[in-house]
Chain A
Amino acid sequence: MPVTPVLTRRWNTPESWTIDTYHRLDGYVALRTALAGDPDDLIKLIKDSGLRGRGGAGFPTGMKWGFIPQGDGRPHYLVINADEGEPGTCKDAPLMKADPHSLVEGIIIAAYAVRASRAFIYLRGELIHAGRRLRAAVAEAYAAGYLGRDILGSGFDLELVVHSGAGAYICGEETALLDSLEGRRGQPRLRPPFPATHGLYASPTVVNNVETIATVPYIVNYGVDWFRTMGRERAPGPKIFSLSGHVTRPGQYEVPMGTTLRELLELAGGVRGGRALKAWTPGGSSTPMLTAEHLDAPLDFEGMQEAGSLLGTAALMIMDDTTDMLRVVRRLTQFYAHESCGKCTPCREGTSWMVKILSRLERGQGDASDVDTLVDACDNIFGRAFCALADGATSPIVSGIKYFRDEFIPVSAVTTKPDPTPGGAAAGDGSPAPTPGAYAGAH
């Protein structure tokens, strides 16, 4: 089946967010199965399923759970990364709004597996409506006896708190998230030690993405063999792909891991207006852009690495042949400069200087050496910071220059375009206001 609705299957049901609807559609069945069994068997089940993290890194979920030391006498924590903010990524927000109980059920099962008696959902602050639905779902789950003391008579206790963040992309990085949850600036920690042994409050902690945890009840219900009927050997299961940009029917498409962009575009009605595909991101702005030559590359972790990119969050931003790549890259670089937490010098300084260079090129005021400077700067940023934000910041630049170098050299950079946003290319240099027509032909 081209589309495999598993996590998305309840999203079209009236009042899908209520516990009554969830009960009617198999809700909290997996929880009973899980609580009747041994936590170690649950960890093994998830290991055997081959489930890999859906938040971007693709780490095997069962292995992550297995890293939690057991019988160590310390409290364990489960923290859900619901800080969705990677540009292009818009899958967890609808999941939490349409089917919050699937996340809550997954949390209870996962917490039972790793013996955590407290769990937190670190929710991106701006997602206010998801917060309403989640808090309502948590309250319903407490009332039904799925949370709190002695859940369903199992002797297992779990407290679950929805914690709203306050606007910082960096908090999607798991150690920055933990610092933020501890009431600090959200800045990444040096690893090791890893969160599995020294996470929240320096205790063993599992940090999992929303989609990852929401997948767990289905694996408990339907089993490993069923899960592995979808996807590829090293990346089994269904995955929610988010299509946006110049596509006819943008939206969420839950398909088997390893589906190709060509197949997804077919489902989504193709590039808007029948135009040619110019560039796309496989997994948000932090994953190197690809081109039409990669239409048939399998969208999974290995497939994207072989293509020179990363699966990331499976956020496919589609750019047609009218797109001004220099402008795209400058805009994304501004994003990283804004969101760099400032802890590591290469990232903090590098991103802001690269914005200046890209803006200069965009105004037609750069010279040929600027492109080399950008490549050199990226080379000095990549791998030289505490966290992956810095690496991600180099992705649009390096891949943009790799595939569209001609658009970066000054001769083709003379068509200055306006950017009314603060810090845009037109800002701060006293140059005359440019003419309208951002992202040429995009409208």
Chain B
Amino acid sequence: MAFSPETHAAAAEIIARYPAGRSRSALLPLLHLVQAEQGCVTTEGVSFCADTLGLTQAEVGAVATFYTMYKRRPVGDYLVSVCTNLSCALLGGDEVYARVAERLGIGHDETTPDGSITLEHAECLAACDYAPVMTVNYEFYDQVDPDAAQAIVAGLQAGERPAPTRGGPLCSFAETSRQLAGFADPRPEGVAGPGVGEPSVAGLLLAEAAGWRADQAPAPLVAATAPTAGQGTGPAAPAMAPPAPVAPPAPASVPAPAAPPAAPPAPAPASSERKGN
């Protein structure tokens, strides 16, 4: 099939993000775009990128085959990735992978016979504090054990979209790929889906409970109750001469003394309402 006028328009929009004469920078997003259209990077997709950017097919192919996220065989609606790198492996990532593979009856980089689910074992997904993790279309399911992981893929097999622990609600691999091409998620709930959970704020929660503050904000900043839009809420001091810190400077040694902050700690903001971050 030929790519639609809409795809050509999207390609032009992508190219316009980069400086004039530097259209080759659009190649990675364009490859995500053709993958969104066809489920993988096809020969046709390579030709489209090459023609659009004035490159040879060999140049485009060399790039497409370099990166793990570009697939050479069609991906299902859902790409299931199980992290088996160290922090996850220490906590059972290999067992999670084994169970998911067993349940789906497929191995790494394979797709179920009905074409709906693709499995891969992934390298570190930058969520080590939530280990073991798996993702579906790159949305996170945290602290999964084999049973939990099996339930998630069973849900996918049943045509459901189990809610990720963090990330937007599941969408299709094609929709995800379009976002990777740099287009905004059209769903408001996509951006609003949970971003961080308890491990991300583990240290902050301790600090809030103990009243530890490090920012020691000068008065204008602490008092900043109104948006800065408009004028003049910045420090009055000349630029590059930041106001003196409220706290008496401590010797540059560590750890900083556990003395109470010079200013009374601000009330911990809504620590119980982390939902929605």
Contacts and interface: CB of A to CB of B under 8 A. Distances in A.
Given A38-B240, A443-B91, A422 B221 contact: no
A250 B90 CA distance: 13
A167 interface: yes
Interface in A396-443: 418-422, 436, 438-439, 442-443
A233 B253 CA distance: 7
Contact of B214 (A97, A236, A238): A238
Interface in B1-30: 17-19, 22, 24-29
Contact of A242 (B128, B208, B255, B256): B128
A1 B121 CA distance: 41
Chain B contact residues: helix, strand, loop or mixed: loop
Contacts of B68: 166-168
Contacts of A180: 28
A136 B182 CA distance: 11
B199 A37 contact: no
Contacts of B176: 128
Given A17-B277, A259-B255, A339-B123, A244 B179 contact: no
B225 to A, nearest CB: 7
A353 interface: no
Interface residues of B, number: 126
A319 interface: yes
B118 interface: no
Contacts of B135: 126
Interface in B64-120: 66-70, 81, 84-87, 89-92, 94-95, 97-98, 101, 107-109
Nearest to A139: B184
Given A233-B252, A332-B86, A249 B97 contact: no
B227 A222 contact: no
Contacts of A419: 94
A4 B208 CA distance: 10
A169 B123 contact: yes
B195 interface: yes
Interface in B169-208: 176, 179-182, 184-185, 190-193, 195-196, 198-208
B124 interface: yes
A36 B234 CA distance: 10
Contacts of B217: 26, 221-222
A232 interface: yes
A8 B239 contact: no
A229 B270 contact: no
A42 B238 CA distance: 12
B70 to A, nearest CB: 6
B234 A231 contact: no
B245 interface: yes
A15 B203 CA distance: 19
Nearest to B199: A251
Interface string B125-156: 11111110001011110000000000000000
A13 B193 contact: no
A323 to B, nearest CB: 7
Interface in A46-92: 75, 84-90, 92
Interface string B19-49: 1001011111101100000000000000000
Interface stretch (A181-189, A363-371, A377-385): A181-189
Interface string A128-165: 11111101100100001000000000000000011111
B26 A183 contact: yes
Nearest to A168: B67
Interface stretch (A27-35, A354-362, A387-395): A27-35
A225 interface: yes
Given A29-B235, A226-B245, A331 B250 contact: no
Given A97-B195, A232-B253, A285-B86, A4 B29 contact: no
A268 B205 CA distance: 11
A245 interface: yes
A251 B201 contact: yes
Nearest to B17: A161
Given A11-B196, A86-B124, A92-B126, A229 B256 contact: yes
B23 to A, nearest CB: 8
A258 B254 contact: yes
A109 to B, nearest CB: 11
B92 to A, nearest CB: 5
A230 interface: yes
B56 interface: no
Contacts of A233: 252-253
B201 A252 contact: yes
Interface of A: 1-6, 8-9, 11-17, 20, 23-30, 32-38, 41-42, 44-45, 75, 84-90, 92-94, 97-98, 118, 124-133, 135-136, 139, 144, 161-169, 180-186, 201, 218-226, 228-233, 236, 238, 242-246, 249-260, 263, 267-268, 285, 298, 300, 315, 317, 319, 323, 328, 331-332, 335, 338-339, 341, 418-422, 436, 438-439, 442-443
Closest 10 CB pairs of A and B: A37-B239, A251-B202, A167-B68, A97-B195, A258-B254, A4-B214, A223-B242, A183-B27, A251-B199, A253-B203
Given A126-B138, A439-B94, 6 more contacts: A5-B214, A14-B273, A23-B229, A33-B242, A331-B89, A442-B92
8 contacts: A1-B258, A8-B201, A12-B274, A90-B127, A229-B249, A251-B201, A259-B255, A439-B89
